[in-house]
């Protein structure tokens, strides 16, 4: 770890904070809450989103509840490092699942430089499998918050989401093929994550 970066003395070491969960769990909202708190504390904050997140039209991190903060856009993990300036104390990365396995080393390098890195993203795929690199990031983080959504069928805590066929919200029509945008996904509890019958 370095105590200096561009002549600026940092408290060492940094830390990694992960906010994980399925879709509709409020991950971006929690990320933005931490960004606002850091800015209130006078910290230099860089917010990064992946170019593949077209939910908000690009250039910002937006939550499903309508909150939004302008962000830098990156297409791979290596670009994130270049967005950090000497005045940066905290890096907030949304939609981390889009950055792939290279994000783990990039995040660890930032933390070793004394930065706080907040990483939010999907830790589960629509077909119920661990979604890297979030599981790996959860393993090396100082703190992990696992958020749940609300099951669209029964209202219980939902740790999963499923992809639905176009034009329907029927639990029996969850499909494996990619068919569209966020409107074709639903949060589901353990009992309703797999369609039977």
Q: Does 9 bind Zn ion (CB under 5 A)?
A: no
30 is catalytic: no
Burial class (CB within 10 angstroms; exposed 0-12, middle 13-18, buried 19+) of 54: exposed
Spatial CA neighbour of 120 closest among 54, 24, 35, 30: 30
List the one residue from 114, 137, 189, 193 that touches Zn ion (CB under 5 A). 189
Catalytic position from the list 17, 95, 132, 142: 95
Closer residue to Zn ion, CB minimum distance, 161 or 192? 192
**Smallest separation, CB 178 to Zn ion (Å):** 23
Smallest CA-to-CA distance from 48 within 108, 100, 104, 90 is with 90
Those residues with Cβ within 8 angstroms of residue 178's Cβ, 6 or more apart along the chain or in another chain: 163
Give the count of residues interacting with Zn ion (CB under 5 A): 6
Output the smallest distance, CB 121 to Zn ion, in A: 23
Gap between the Cα atoms of 153 and 186, Å rounded: 9
Q: How far is the CB of 124 from Zn ion (least distance, A)?
A: 15
Phi, psi values for residue 122, rounded to 5°: -75, 130
Residue 79 or residue 148: which is nearer to Zn ion going by CB?
148
Q: Does the CA dihedral 125-100-145-64 come out positive or negative?
A: negative
Q: Measured from the CB atom, is 46 or 171 closer to Zn ion? A: 171
The residue (of 178 and 197) whose beta carbon lies closer to Zn ion is 197
81-87-91 Cα angle (round to 5): 45
User: Which of positions 145-184 make contact with Zn ion (CB under 5 A)?
Assistant: 151, 153-154, 156
Contact status: 1 vs Zn ion (CB under 5 A): no
CB of 83 to Zn ion, least distance (A): 40
Within 13 Å, how many C-alpha atoms sit on residue 153's CB side? 19
Residues of this chain that interact with Zn ion (CB under 5 A) are 151, 153-154, 156, 189, 192
Task: Cite the active site residues.
Answer: 95
């Amino acid at each position: 770890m370095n105590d200096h970066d561009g002549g600026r003395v940092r408290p060492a070491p940094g830390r990694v904070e992960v906010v994980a969960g399925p879709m509709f769990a409020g991950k971006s909202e929690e990320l933005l809450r931490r960004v606002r708190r850091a800015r209130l504390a006078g910290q230099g904050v860089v917010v990064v989103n992946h170019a593949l997140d077209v939910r908000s039209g690009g250039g910002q991190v937006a939550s499903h509840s309508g909150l939004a903060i302008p962000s830098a856009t990156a297409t791979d993990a290596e670009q994130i490092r270049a967005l950090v300036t000497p005045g940066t104390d905290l890096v907030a990365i949304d939609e981390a699942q889009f950055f792939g396995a290279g994000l783990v080393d990039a995040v660890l390098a930032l933390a070793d430089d004394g930065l706080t890195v907040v990483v939010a993203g999907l830790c589960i795929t629509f077909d119920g499998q661990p979604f890297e690199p979030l599981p790996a990031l959860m393993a090396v983080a100082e703190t992990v918050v696992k958020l749940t959504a609300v099951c669209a069928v029964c209202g219980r805590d939902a740790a999963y989401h499923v992809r639905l066929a176009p034009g329907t919200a029927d639990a029996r029509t969850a499909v494996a093929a990619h068919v569209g945008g966020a409107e074709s996904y639903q949060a589901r509890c353990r009992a309703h994550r797999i369609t039977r019958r």
